[in-house]
């Protein structure tokens, strides 16, 4: 059977052509464009919260992303992609799982005292720029590649910009890599798969752009969230003051459990 599989090329698994794939986005835009408008506005608001060091920036961003992954799963994967690709339900359910994970993260982040990402750190600047790329520049790049204006891919509807914005928003609102990386694992996997799909659909420029954006997103997540002096303050959660740190559980629990109700209200780091 393995020998049999080896006779297939990746292209043999593509059931559709580029024109039909592109039209899927026109279909979901026609059906649900207000969701994209609301989603983009909400994403920009979350970026503003993050830039303002608001204590609800993390939970609000995770909640928004949970909703965006859910709508993308419902409208794109189950709504239109499944009409031309019987395998689309699998990434669709993965997006549903990601939405659930983000929802849990939103609740946890709402409870816990999250250290903020310092103003002017590379992570905040690059993450904000990356999220803006996902919200605005990446969709418009499709226009440059010849897509019709009504067929552009938008956050909260199409999976690629939704995944890109997730990386950017989580980079600027969740400083702990232990929490951020599990949350962006699926978006990163999807983006890699999507870039491969675009490549096999013989749209190499779009594929390379998405692949490059994915790699840049990964780099953004790995940038330091705190200034060196602040990083030196505490362990294991950098940026949390020693008094707060004493109440913090270690290991995996440190990632998901609230630090302390008191810390959650101080909003300081």
Which residues would be at the binding site for other proteins (CB under 8 A)? Answer: 4, 7-8, 11-12, 14-17, 19-20, 23-24, 27, 80, 83-86
Cβ 94 to other proteins, closest distance in Å? Answer: 20
Calculate the dihedral angle through the C-alpha atoms of 73, 74, 80, 85, rounding to the nearest 10 degrees: 50
Report d(CA 166, CA 67) in Å as an integer: 11
Cβ 202 to other proteins, closest distance in Å? Answer: 11
Cβ 15 to other proteins, closest distance in Å? Answer: 5
Which CB sits closer to other proteins, 13 or 145?
Answer: 13
Report d(CA 154, CA 142) in Å as an integer: 10
CB atoms within 10 A of CB 83: 13
Which CB sits closer to other proteins, 17 or 235?
Answer: 17
Residue 136 CA, distance from chain mean position? 14
Cβ 207 to other proteins, closest distance in Å? Answer: 19
Interhelix angle for 204-222 vs 122-132, to 10°? 150
Cβ 153 to other proteins, closest distance in Å? Answer: 16
Rg of the chain, C-alpha, whole Å: 19
Q: List CB contacts of 133: < 8 A, sequence separation 6 or more.
A: 164, 168, 213
């Amino acid at each position: 059977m393995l020998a049999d599989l080896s006779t297939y090329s990746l292209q043999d698994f593509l059931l559709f052509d580029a024109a039909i794939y592109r039209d899927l986005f026109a279909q979901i835009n026609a059906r649900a464009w207000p969701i994209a408008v609301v989603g983009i506005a909400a994403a920009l608001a979350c970026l503003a919260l993050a830039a303002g060091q608001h204590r609800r920036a993390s939970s609000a961003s995770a909640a928004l992303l949970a909703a965006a992954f859910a709508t993308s799963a419902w409208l794109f994967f189950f709504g239109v992609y499944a009409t031309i690709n019987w395998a689309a339900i699998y990434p669709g359910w993965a997006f549903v799982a990601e939405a659930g994970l983000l929802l849990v993260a939103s609740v946890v982040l709402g409870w816990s005292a999250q250290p903020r990402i310092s103003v002017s750190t590379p992570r905040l600047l690059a993450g904000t720029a990356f999220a803006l790329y996902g919200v605005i520049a990446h969709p418009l790049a499709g226009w440059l590649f010849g897509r019709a204006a009504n067929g552009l891919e938008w956050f909260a509807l199409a999976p690629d910009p939704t995944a890109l914005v997730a990386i950017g928003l989580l980079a600027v609102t969740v400083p702990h890599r232990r929490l951020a990386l599990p949350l962006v694992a699926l978006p990163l996997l999807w983006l890699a798969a999507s870039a491969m799909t675009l490549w096999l659909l013989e749209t190499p420029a779009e594929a390379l752009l998405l692949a490059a954006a994915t790699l840049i997103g990964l780099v953004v997540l790995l940038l330091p969230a705190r200034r060196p002096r602040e990083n030196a303050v505490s362990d294991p959660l950098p940026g949390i003051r020693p008094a707060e740190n004493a109440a913090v559980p270690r290991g995996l629990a440190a990632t998901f459990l609230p630090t302390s109700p008191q810390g959650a209200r101080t909003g300081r780091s």
